Amino acid sequence: MPDIPADAIPENSAELARPSDSRLQAEDLAPALTEWLSTKAGSPATITEIKPPDGNGMSSETVLVDAEWGGETHQLVFRVAPSPESDPVFPEYDLDVQFRLMDHVAKTTSVPVPPLYWSEPSEQIIGYPFIVMGRVDGEVPPDVLPYTFGSWLTEATEEQRRQLQTETVEALAGIHAAPLPEDLLEAPRAGETALAAHLRRMKDFYEWTVEGHERAPILERAFAWATDNLPATDDAVLVWGDARIGNVIYQDFSPAAVLDWEMAIRGPRELDVAWGIALHRFFQDLAEMAGMEGLPTFWRRSDVEAVYEKASGHKPQDMDFYVAYNTMIYSMILFRVQCRAVDYGQAEEPADPDDKILNKATLAAMIDGTYWEGIGDQR
């Protein structure tokens, strides 16, 4: 494991990982949503409860709504797009496309997604676009604090964690087997591979992120490394994008609903396979740095690659690159979150911009090619 300073986890990391205060107040939403639901349901609707959820999420806002119509109670999840004025984590949110992607996955694969009700792309109802899904009960591995710090997952048996890991990777293979929804995913430019297009968009995201802030040397070095080492592949499947266990609801350690499609693209399947590995390495490194055991035998790269190959028939290629590349992308997201924290007065602007990146030592070790030799049999 790379040498990470002992004080690298801010005491207020949970707060900094969250969006700004909610714009959505129950007393303001209820009248408009009641009328809207009545129109959609085709019969008078009554809202009995509105509340925000606990759990993961750094992008859009989510509101839980219990409503009645047609003599039945419906437990709903409203996912609401952020406004540009809220300084969002990402520059664009197209919830309607996310809704249609989930519908595509539901209709063409056996991968579980939440029950889908309606998409409202206009801002006329509550001021922001939103989608409506059915609520799925279950457990989600927490991001804050990470599940490696102590959670229902650390309390599970090895067999239960192995079941969760295997079935989640199988679901990932199922997503990649779906027909490519050409009309829902941005196409590469002429003469550009899907992977090269992804790298170009990541560079654009970085340029957007650093507006008004100092540039991060470690990210600039990582971009140069990625450009120089980009694999030559024409592979282009439906890539979930944020393919991690924190975006899955589990029931008895089996996936019950795959969530959060704002990062979905067309690209090499390795982007998804490596994303979960990169995120687990981040959480595991933090746990070990804090003197905890974490989950050293969980989501090991070799195990995930083997399960994916068995489930899909495709042996993941160039995984040193893809895990490092995804670590770079997550580092940019961490950098963006900390920039937001500075903007909102929740954190001080550090003298070194790289100090906004909690996993900068891991990123440096990965692009230098020294990371994997330091973690022993966890690989």
Q: For the beta carbon of residue 210, count every other beta carbon within 10 angstroms.
A: 18
Strands (E), 100-186: 116-120, 130-134
Chunked mean pLDDT (size 10), the chain, 379 residues = 48 42 68 96 95 59 93 95 74 92 98 98 93 97 94 98 98 98 96 97 96 96 98 96 97 97 96 98 94 96 98 98 98 94 89 95 95 85
Q: In this structure, what token pair is assigned to residue 376?
A: 């022993």
pTM of the model: 0.91
Q: In this structure, what token pair is assigned to residue 275?
A: 């994303």
Give the closest residue to 172 by CA, choosing from 264, 91, 93: 264
Q: Note the CATH number of domain 26-81+94-134.
A: 3.30.200.20
What's the pLDDT at 377?
77
CA distances from 173 to 21, 198, 199, 304 (A): 37, 20, 23, 11
Maximum distance among all Cα pairs of the chain, rounded to whole angstroms: 63
Strands (E), the chain: 46-51, 61-69, 72-80, 116-120, 130-134, 237-239, 248-251, 254-258, 265-267
Domain topology for 139-378: Aminoglycoside 3'-phosphotransferase; Chain: A, domain 2 (3.90.1200)
What's the pLDDT at 274?
98
Residues 6+ apart with CB under 8 A from 111: 105, 171, 174, 175, 178, 255, 258
**Pairwise CA distance, residues 116 & 296, whole Å:** 37
323 neighbors 281 (Cβ within 8 angstroms)? yes
What's the pLDDT at 263?
94
Question: Could you write out the DSSP letters of every residue in 240-253?
Answer: -SS-SGGGEEEETT
Q: In this structure, what token pair is assigned to residue 224?
A: 């140069």
- Catalytic residue check, 242: yes
357 neighbors 216 (Cβ within 8 angstroms)? yes
68 φ, ψ (degrees, to nearest 5): -125, 135
Residue matched to tokens 């293979």: 173
290 neighbors 149 (Cβ within 8 angstroms)? yes
**Pairwise CA distance, residues 246 & 299, whole Å:** 13
**Pairwise CA distance, residues 245 & 249, whole Å:** 8
218 neighbors 360 (Cβ within 8 angstroms)? yes
To 10 degrees, what angle do helices 270-289 and 319-343 make? 60
Catalytic residue from among 242, 260, 272, 354: 242
Q: Which residues of 283-299 are buried (b: 16+ CB within 10 A; e: fewer)?
A: bbbbbbbbeeebbeebb
Would you kindly state where each structural domain of the chain is located, as residue ranges?
Answer: 26-81+94-134, 139-378
362 φ, ψ (degrees, to nearest 5): -65, -45
Q: Which residues of 222-253 are buried (b: 16+ CB within 10 A; e: fewer)?
A: bbebbeeebeebebbbbbbbbbbbbbbbbeeb
Q: Is 26-81+94-134's fold the same as 139-378's?
A: no
**Pairwise CA distance, residues 193 & 199, whole Å:** 10
